[in-house]
Chain A
Amino acid sequence: MGVVHGKGVVVSVDAKDLSVYGTSCEYELKADSHDVTTFGNDTKVFAGGLKESSMKIEGIYDDTETTGPRAVLEPLVGAIAEMIYKPEGASAGPTRTFDALCTTYTETAPVADMIKFSAQFQGSGAVATTDPP
């Protein structure tokens, strides 16, 4: 086992595989921290709190009907959909599955390059992580 290249990432939203349009993914899992320092301590003490996940997907805009990023992502703004993220590819590594609220869909159109898209998701509920068999 060792380093893993990003070219095989699989990302699916609302049962639509957007991998072939994606150029970058940013998955984050974090937790609140609570200060539980009491008298008599010389350093602060913290306890973990609620966890929170988020996901950002960026890629090359494509107008393919039904399955392209515009067709899939734009209608999801404000809605919750199932997110499936496999950082090591379809047949290796973990599968992370969680419900996610699409908070932002962005299209960026430079004059001398392809149109790009990005979408940001806020995780809703726990992230289920399964390891490969």
Chain B
Amino acid sequence: MRLIEIMDGLGTACGAISGLRVTPYPENRVNPPQAMVSYPRRYSYDESFGNGTEDVELSVVVFVGGRDAGSVRDALGVYVDGIGGTSIKQAIESHVTNVWDIAHVIDAEFIIATVAGVEYQSAMFRVRVLGKGK
């Protein structure tokens, strides 16, 4: 696998969700609703003999905004659903690509993220990607 292709691929997968802006890399500005693909927390080689398998864990962070707490919750909730046209999990796991063998959205964690001095309610999706090392 190649890191650039993995991050681009996750961006393309999330881009299938209507109305969601996507950047396949971290950047220091947010225009919600926006998904941002982060660098891997861990990039593991040699998961099988001859570097036959690589195992990468990285995050996709979705930032939302809203007029009040209720609208923020409603805006974020649709991306966290396990299924449906706005589901991050469904978008990533159903994305067909030659970049990886399988991508699994493990869980979502809810955080207040500060970007360029502005606080956003966000959901951080942990994604595990496995593919061939050669």
Contact = CB atoms under 8 A, between A and B. Distances in A.
A124 to B, nearest CB: 24
Interface string A19-50: 11111010000000000000000000000000
Nearest to A22: B49
Interface string B95-134: 0000001100010000000000000000000000010111
Contacts, number: 45
B49 A19 contact: yes
A75 B106 CA distance: 34
A90 B134 CA distance: 15
B50 A20 contact: yes
Name the residue in A6, A62, A114 with the highest tally of chain B Cβ atoms < 10 Å from its Cβ: A114
Name the residue in A7, A11, A59 with the highest tally of chain B Cβ atoms < 10 Å from its Cβ: A7
Contact of A20 (B52, B102, B106, B130): B52
A25 B106 CA distance: 29
Contact of B52 (A6, A21, A112): A21
Interface band, chain A: 10 to 19
Interface band, chain B: 10 to 19
Contacts of B49: 6-11, 19-20, 22-23, 25, 59
Chain A at the B interface: SS class: mixed
A60 interface: yes
A49 to B, nearest CB: 33
Name the residue in B46, B48, B101, B134 with the highest tally of chain A Cβ atoms < 10 Å from its Cβ: B48
A35 B52 CA distance: 46
Nearest to A8: B50
B47 interface: yes
Given A20-B132, A20-B134, A114-B130, A10 B50 contact: yes
Contact of A23 (B47, B102, B132): B47
Contacts of A19: 48-50, 52
A60 B53 contact: yes
Contact of B51 (A6, A7, A10, A114): A7
Contacts of A112: 106
Interface of B: 46-53, 101-102, 106, 130, 132-134
